[in-house]
Chain A
Amino acid sequence: MNSDILNMLEEIKPEFDFNDSEDFVMDGLLDSFDIITLISMLEEKYGISIDGLDIVPENFSSVDSIVNLVIKSGGKAE
């Protein structure tokens, strides 16, 4: 799941190296519209619905936090 999510991030923002960031939001790699785009991709790929209350910056700060969000939302690694 980690590599799939990293691929999604690189598709949304190909100009950034997400491996170099400790916090995607604080470092300016993802803005609110990028997060919305990522949510749409995650929901489609994993067949999940992410709760609106979980759409907060801290859940999108790293690949690990995004993986945790997907799992919390009922997603399973393929």
Chain B
Amino acid sequence: MITKFRGKRITSMLGILPETVGLFDDEVSNYSFPPKQTMRLKKIMGYDRHRLAKDTSTVSDFAVYGLRYMLENNWIKKEEIGAVITVTLCPDHFVPHISNIVHDKCGLDTDVLCFDIAQGCCGFLVGLMQSFMLLEHTDKKIVLINGDVLSHKVSKQDRNDYPLIGDGATITVLENGGDDEIYYEMHTDGSRGKALIIPAGAFRMPSNQETGIMVDQGDGNLRSLDNIAMDGSEVFNFVQVEVPPMLENAFKRESLTVNDFDWFLFHQPNRFMLQKLAEKAGLPQDKLPMNLVENFGNPSGASIPMTAILNCKESLINKDNKCCLSAFGSGLAWGVMIMNIGKLDHCDLIESDL
């Protein structure tokens, strides 16, 4: 799908992190690989430290913590909120949805629309698209929550996945305003969906004693059917093949070159993949932050706003920025959004005790 929106803007962005920091150096002994082999990946992949939610903390906890912070600090007023959208792979329950839990705990009015969207890596782009569509029908503000606690679903003995996962959430406030045009392009290939999968835990394969058994996958990584499993080679190849031509097409359609952008804010799988993508697509690496995994880990759909807050806070507050947002991963899905982000009312990163 390719479409455009006009006259919508982001006005505030908040990142909410758990306080617990997992250090790659400390986790090396969890893996069944020689430590020297594993340590080589530290620099190449950007593994260093990641934020981990407590076992009892859920996405709604982070969302409520963040929205209460915004309400208490006058970032937004309750009566200004028209809708709460949560994009996550980690629901608290099958029912009720996280947005409804947030609605309750933050004491929002009954005319506030609340719904959740199940999306992973492309969750920010999908959430923005839904927000922009809602803004066609309301003058109120949209609260977009992106968050995941995927560390709860990753085997600690899986070197492919555990070092890169990070927990946390972001809250983005959107409203009508200005006359800027926003370009949006999104693709899906469900036939490759099993390249990134949590096999058990829902209705197709409910979790039970058997799905929790840890099995050596033949490559030295131990995981169960309850854990996330990623075919790293398949995902890497997919990104290198699909994303550069999509970006080229988008730039051509919008009559833009890479030099026209202030920031390339991309999903953050790992440093290696982003470097290869930047080389392939001819993107300037000084405008494409790649440091989220080494600082906080990859928080799935929250990765783009978290990267923006971590790296571009001053720029996003002080001036307008031509931004290219791109996400790729679970689904498999890949997309790009070209929009101006800037003159934000608020932009910050806070640490919670969750």
Q: Write the residues of chain A forming the contact surface with B, with a CB cutoff of 8 angstroms.
A: 12-13, 28, 31-34, 36-37, 40, 49, 51-53, 55-57
Please tell me if the beta carbons of A36 and B41 are within 8 angstroms of each other in the complex. yes
A52 proximity list for chain B (CB < 8 A) = 236, 239-240, 276-277, 279-280
Residue in chain A with minimal CB distance to B240 = A52
Contact A55 B44, CB 8 Å, known A32-B232, A32-B236: no
A53 to B240, CA, bound (A): 6
Please tell me if the beta carbons of A32 and B280 are within 8 angstroms of each other in the complex. no
CB contacts under 8 Å to A, within B267-296, are: 272, 276-277, 279-280
Contact A55 B237, CB 8 Å, known A33-B160, A37-B41: yes
Between-chain CB contacts (< 8 Å), 23 pairs: A12-B37, A13-B37, A32-B160, A32-B232, A32-B236, A33-B41, A33-B232, A36-B45, A37-B37, A37-B40, A37-B44, A40-B40, A40-B272, A49-B279, A52-B236, A52-B276, A52-B277, A53-B240, A53-B241, A53-B280, A55-B236, A55-B276, A56-B237
Q: Write the residues of chain B forming the contact surface with A, with a CB cutoff of 8 angstroms.
A: 37, 40-41, 44-45, 159-160, 218-220, 232-233, 236-237, 239-241, 272, 276-277, 279-280
List 8 additional A-B contacts (Cβ < 8 Å) besides A28-B218, A33-B159, A55-B237.
A28-B219, A31-B219, A32-B233, A32-B236, A36-B45, A52-B277, A53-B280, A57-B233
A57 to B279, CA, bound (A): 20
A40 to B179, CA, bound (A): 46
A28 to B218, CA, bound (A): 9
Chain A interface main SS type:
helix
A49 to B276, CA, bound (A): 9
Residue in chain B with minimal CB distance to A40 = B44
A28 to B216, CA, bound (A): 14
Q: What is the minimal beta-carbon distance from B220 to any residue of chain A, in angstroms?
A: 8
Please tell me if the beta carbons of A36 and B44 are within 8 angstroms of each other in the complex. yes
A32 to B41, CA, bound (A): 11
Q: What is the minimal beta-carbon distance from B266 to any residue of chain A, in angstroms?
A: 14
Residue in chain B with minimal CB distance to A33 = B41
A34 to B276, CA, bound (A): 16
* Closest CB pairs A-B (n = 7): A52-B240, A52-B276, A32-B233, A32-B232, A52-B280, A40-B44, A31-B219
A33 to B47, CA, bound (A): 13
Q: What is the minimal beta-carbon distance from A30 to any residue of chain B, in angstroms?
A: 10
